Amino acid sequence: MLENAIAGNLVAGVHPTRQRVIGTGNMVAQLNLAAVGQPRLGYFFWSAANAAGLNNVKYLTVNGADPILNGYGLSSTNTPVTKGALPQSGAVHPAPNLGDVTFNQLNMGDYPIWSVVRLVSGAGNPGVANLAAGLHLLDAVQNDYIALGNLNVWHSHFPIYGIVGAYANGSQINVANDLCVGGNPEAGGDVGGVNVLKQANLDFCADFANPAGLGNKQN
């Protein structure tokens, strides 16, 4: 799923090249091999573990929105840190700490490229239930994840033609009905779906008596 292109050899007079990688481990290893005058570009799902030791890698904003910190080059207390340095990456330039991670601009709906972690399991599997419960207990030392109860934003769903005949933004994704009361469970695709604040989606459902929510929207 993470077979993403890397552009290399970005030197005057040299055509960029592309290659495919398989998995996050291969991606981050290739990115960290970038040499002076030969930068590489790729993407992967960030976590503290995935970024550990990437002392030769920086990240970019999307439409000016930072996915990880309060702002590009700003710690959790809004003091300057090296722009683009990955938290706890082992970079020789000053990097932010894991405690500086806030996902602030992601959680306000400004950063679009993120994904919900979903668990697929048979009904009544205690191991999966315990894992899901444990995800709500993360603390500042493990701050590389937004617990579901703290997530303010959602991706709008849309129909996947030939696969899913309906789409919906809920009835709920948390213990509270924070998407659409009385709606169908989330269904359809959300890749590229527009960021929707959960409260805005809930207000839409209430104002227009539409339990499907703000679905069928794509960037």
Alpha-carbon distances, residue 98 vs 34, 44, 75 (angstroms): 24, 18, 10
- According to the 3-state scheme, what is the secondary structure of 67-109? CCCCECCECCCCCECCCCECCCCCCCCCCCCHHHCCCHHHHCC
Q: Which of residues 149, 168, 188 is at a domain's end?
A: 149
- Helix (H/G/I), strand (E/B), else coil: 208: helix
Whole-angstrom Cα distance, residue 169 to residue 154?
Answer: 8
Do both 13 and 79 map to the same domain? no
Do both 134 and 70 map to the same domain? yes
- The answer to the question of residue 65 being in a domain is yes
Long-range contacts from 198-201, C-beta under 8 angstroms, 24+ separation = 198/151, 198/152, 198/153, 198/154, 198/173, 199/152, 201/154, 201/169, 201/170
The reported pLDDT for the residue numbered 142 is 66
Closest CA to 68 of 78, 80, 59: 59
Q: What is the CA radius of gyration of the chain?
A: 20
Do both 128 and 189 map to the same domain? no
Assign 72 a pLDDT band (cuts: 50, 70, 90). very high
- The answer to the question of residue 51 being in a domain is no
Instruction: Write the pLDDT tens digit of every residue in 16-61.
Output: 778 888 888 899 888 888 877 778 888 888 888 888 888 888 899 9
Whole-angstrom Cα distance, residue 143 to residue 68?
Answer: 10
- Helix (H/G/I), strand (E/B), else coil: 179: coil
Do both 87 and 112 map to the same domain? yes
Task: Specify the amino acid at residue 141.
Answer: V
Q: Within 13 Å and on the Cβ side, how many CA atoms surround 48? A: 13
Do both 84 and 120 map to the same domain? yes
Supply the range of the domain harboring residue 39. 1-44
Total domains in the chain come to 3
Do both 203 and 218 map to the same domain? yes
- What would the two tokens of residue 168 be? 């919906």
- The answer to the question of residue 126 being in a domain is yes
Whole-angstrom Cα distance, residue 109 to residue 19?
Answer: 32
Closest CA to 26 of 3, 54, 60: 3
- Helix (H/G/I), strand (E/B), else coil: 152: coil
Instruction: Write the pLDDT tens digit of every residue in 139-183.
Output: 656 678 888 778 899 888 888 877 766 777 766 676 666 777 777
Which residue is it, tokens 């005058």?
Answer: 37
Do both 126 and 68 map to the same domain? yes
Instruction: Write the pLDDT tens digit of every residue in 92-125.
Output: 667 888 888 999 999 999 999 998 877 777 777 7
Instruction: Write the pLDDT tens digit of every residue in 74-97.
Output: 888 888 888 898 887 766 667 888
